[in-house]
Structure 1
Amino acid sequence: MKRAGRAEWTKLRTDASNGWLTLGVFALTVAVGAAVAMTSRCDATGCGADPTRLSLTGVMVGQVVVAIVAVLMAGNEYGTGMMLTTLTAVPRRLTVLCSKSAVLTAVTLVTGTISVLASLLIGRLVQPGRGFTREHGFRALSLADEPTLRAAVGSVLYLVLIGLLGLGVALAVRHSATAIGIVLALLFVFPILAQLVADPDWQRHLQQISPLTAGLAVQTTVGVDDLPIGPWQGLGVVALWAVGALAVGGRLLCARDA
């Protein structure tokens, strides 16, 4: 397992595109979060805005790049035929699955943590000048505040789970473009359907099973009781999607030839 993990790390870091994509996760997450923080306003008490979630808006964009990195981690090997070499060097296919998952998790944890902390720091510096003040009922963003800490930790875990979801899908379909399309559909089709459905009960159910809507509920710090699903329960939904994708991908990895 140790040697397999080292091999996966070597493959990941020696591919220049992965470095640029990882940098893109940070750049997009921080840039979008900063843009939203700098353009949002709260001009009176009870404006209903959620400063923490506004600062972390970039996670919604960064997750797309995380999913791409995860898909390419397996999809590129199938596309180039390198998967045969990988499975020859490491015949135990579950070891291959675990090593890829571990390396992807570690890289996403580091990148996600830096991105989330930078986004919150920018929000802390910018938002008081945009009306998010004590006079309007807001404290400066701080990880000492339990809801903000939960939003930060949950956002990082969400990115990790999206990465694992992408890896599982890529192992199942063995084609990068197809896998990316499937992951993006899983993320964005459910929220669109929820907007098109008129029945409020069905809207709520679609939001509860949507990886995007349910998972990002963990970022909410204002009006938590109005959410279609609780913050940690929503993150659990994403975990189920990720585990399911890895289970299917791992099963097919073991059952099929490279």
Structure 2
Amino acid sequence: MLKGWQTVTHTKLSGMSKKIIVTGTSRGIGLQLAQQLVQEGHQVLALSRNEDSVKALNSDLISSFSFDITQSADLKKVEAFVEENWSEVDILIHNAGALVNKPFSDLSAADFQTVYDVNVFGVASLTQTVLPFMNAGAHVVTVSSMGGIQGSMKFPGLAAYSSSKGAVITLSELLAEEYKEQQIAFNVLALGAVQTEMLEEAFPGYKAPVSAKGMATYIADFALTGNKFYNGKVLQVSASTP
């Protein structure tokens, strides 16, 4: 057994219980997602660089360890965990994200690299890690942004962030086609503004119309049921345009 994650005492679960991986669970939507999914009786592997918030939930259904999506060694931790504890994964939710708010003229190559390492390359690498454990009926959900569809119409300064969110939309569409014979679904939720810590840090004082908890409820339901109706699709989850 690898060290570094919480020991899970598996309770007797209903046949509807799913094995779900969620990234970016230290705060905001990801933390709310983890909490809601375990309250519904699902087993969750919660992945973030800081696992303190997840541990504070004190649930036997949550497993966690410190995880950096850009590090190959941490991807191997995920592989080892699934092999030793679950053997399969039903749902993968890509929620982790990196954001740099700068005018395009001020963005450096390092800024772009930082954002793309998490939002694009990390998503691709974790998907490659988890796919061998997914069977027919599995669902990969990627949290993107309306900025990935419309550009930063509402929030200037997000050239790196929004372009990366556009890239994962195309990636998911391609994977849906590539894995349709295996009946593994890939869908994207392009979110509008949500009141999270990341939004507050990037745009202090802006008040979004949707709470992290409210959006987490929507994403959880979609992750559990959306693959029955959608594959290779991008759903715009926003009450306003832009």
Report the TM-score range of the alignment, normalised by the length of the smaller protein. 0.3 to 0.5
Structure having the larger proportion of residues in strand: 2
Higher Cα Rg: structure 1 or 2?
A: 1
TM-score by length of 2: 0.37
